[in-house]
């Protein structure tokens, strides 16, 4: 996710979630709660950094597709990473790679 969690997340969220889980005050495991908090924060940061114009967005997606290709060895991992980061289809991934 390319997101480095903050200490505040640990103090404000993780410790409290763990305590609630240990006291059986929550139905969801504390690790799942913390993971979803991290994913939400990473998504909000990605949204804040989203390029404004269409050409900028396409350039960013091309770079992202290239990075994913370099980072992941097999097709399934590449597609999962692409869809997690962009929410776009397999076809979009290959279009961006082809144009890069």
Q: Please give the model's pTM, rounded to 2 decimal places.
A: 0.49
Can you tell me the distance from the alpha carbon of 91 to that of 79, in angstroms, rounded to the nearest whole number? 10
- 65-100 residue pLDDT tens: 999 999 999 999 999 999 998 899 999 999 999 976
- 6-20 residue pLDDT tens: 777 778 888 899 999
Nearest by Cα to 60 from 88, 41, 80:
88
Can you tell me the distance from the alpha carbon of 84 to that of 26, in angstroms, rounded to the nearest whole number? 27
Hey, where are the domains in the chain? Answer: 7-48, 54-99
């Amino acid at each position: 996710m390319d997101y480095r969690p903050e200490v505040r997340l640990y103090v404000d969220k993780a410790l409290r979630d763990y305590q609630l889980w240990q006291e059986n005050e929550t139905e969801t495991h504390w690790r799942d709660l913390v993971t979803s908090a991290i994913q939400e924060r990473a998504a909000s940061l990605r949204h804040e950094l989203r390029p404004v114009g269409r050409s900028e967005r396409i350039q960013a997606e091309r770079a992202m597709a290239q990075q994913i290709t370099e980072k992941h060895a097999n097709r399934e991992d590449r597609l999962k990473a692409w869809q997690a980061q962009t929410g776009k289809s397999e076809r979009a991934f290959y279009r961006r790679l082809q144009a890069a």
